[in-house]
Amino acid sequence: MKLVVIDGQGGGLGKNLIEKIIKANVKDVDIIALGTNALATASMIKAGARTGATGENAIMVNAEKADVIMGPIAVVIPNSIMGEITQGISLAVGKSDAMKILIPLNRCNVEIPGTARYTVTQLLDSAVEELKKYQESMSS
């Protein structure tokens, strides 16, 4: 399974997500780190992604080829992450046929009822569980 993890700024969320996926021993997953900037990409590669790329075009091209896309919900909101998510990025992620497992952080003026009571760690753990469930459903 080709898993794309997208993040921006320092890549901390993507880094923690990749570390949790590896620690959970998710099998047969090819993790590709896609950062909106070089720092985010490098952080995710250091966490264990097989490869990575940076920028709008890299994200647009790889979103189309992904089986699963993971990252903050901001990746589908144009101009979020302090402007790092372009309209092209949000459109590419949104129209991708990939399963999207998005972390519902409310840092981009979007509130998702029911998620405020969870810590980031709990949200990331839940996202990894969703990935495992999706992978199991694809093999049955």
Count of domains forming the chain: 1
Q: Tell me the residue range of the domain where 74 lies.
A: 2-139
How far apart CA 44 and CA 17 sit, in angstroms, is: 9
pLDDT tens sequence across 6-24: 999 999 999 999 999 999 9
The two tokens of residue 12 are: 């901390």
Q: Per residue of the chain (140 residues), give pLDDT as tens.
A: 999 999 999 999 999 999 999 999 998 999 999 999 999 999 999 999 999 999 999 999 999 999 999 999 999 999 999 999 999 999 999 999 999 999 988 767 778 887 778 889 999 999 999 999 999 898 87
CATH code of the domain in which 11 resides: 3.40.50
